Amino acid sequence: MQIKDGTFMVTGGISLIGSHVTEQLLENGAKTVILFDNYSLGSTEMIEHILKEERVRLVRGDITRVGELYNALEGVDGIFAIAGFLTLPFSANPELGITVNALGHVNVLEAARYRGVSKVIFSSSVATYGDPEPGSIDETRPFRFNTMTPPGVLYGSTKIIGEQLGKLYSERYGVQSVSLRYATVYGERQHYRGVNALYIIDTYDKLMAGERPRIPGDGSEVHDYIHVADVARANLMAMESNVTAEAFNVATGTATNLNRLYEIIAEIVGTDLEPEYGDREGAVRVTTSSQLDFSIEKIGRMIGWTPQVSIEEGIARLIKWRQGQA
């Protein structure tokens, strides 16, 4: 499916990822982009520049109410299914998290089938691996959850359900579906709800306030930080591909520990403050591994996507944006 001259819906359209997908859709010549969002986790304040574009239409709706999806999907070619509960709100309201992430995605797929939408790109997560053992993590790795806390297990489980629903609708009804398993997404318009990405913006805020940030443990915990622009590009490339009923890692393939992350942020800010070490009481942790190696061979081979934004460049872009919000 071509992006140029197409009509697309972005559920969770005013979110971090949704807004960047929308920007790239517009840059690539989409005819119409419908931003479908219930405003529960964001507002339009950060995307006013996008809403000025005449090709963008904002629809206030909720994926848990299938009738609202039916009404908004007339003439839509493809859906970027980004709306969902993250781990932090999931821990506070598991009932709603399961409803949004599981039943909500059933509604998206059923509405797509009813309206004749050709393809759905589902925002999944590397949480589908749980807390993986060391070694290369490709898309065949099983869900290892015995070392995890309940919020992480529940969140990862709903993403597995979403992926399998996509496969089912692809095989049974011909609604093409691709699942993208994001690593730790960060970037301009960063929110305060991502468990791991939150550390970046939280550290910056504390340094600017002259406070010493706290690094969990000894700082050896690693994550694969993927810039939102690369994530958005993966969404568009998946939509344009002929691939269906597949899941792909969307990551850099490079692990960065918290000590190195702090060094990058401190260098950009220009501070010599030393961090404190130790876990914060009541903090939600997902994984604490000191080794992480996500394979991106499959997505490169089948879709042609590779990451382009380095961690140093990406954090510099995030901080430049954050400074502009002051």
Helix (H, G, I), strand (E, B) or coil at 274: coil
Q: How far apart are CA 23 and CA 21, in angstroms?
A: 5
C-beta separation of 255 from 126 below 8 A: no
Handedness of CA 11, 12, 14, 19 (dihedral sign): negative
Catalytic residue, chosen from 39, 70, 114, 155, is 155
Distance (Å) of CA 229 to CA 177, 267, 276, 307: 21, 23, 31, 9
- In the chain, which residue ranges form alpha helices assigned H by DSSP? 16-27, 48-51, 66-72, 87-92, 94-98, 104-115, 150-173, 198-208, 228-240, 258-269, 297-302, 311-324
Q: Are strands 119-125 and 214-215 parallel, antiparallel or unpaired?
A: unpaired
Helix (H, G, I), strand (E, B) or coil at 157: helix
C-beta separation of 240 from 213 below 8 A: no
Question: What residues does 294 pair with on adjacent strands?
Answer: 137
Catalytic-residue membership of 155: yes
Active site residue ranges: 155
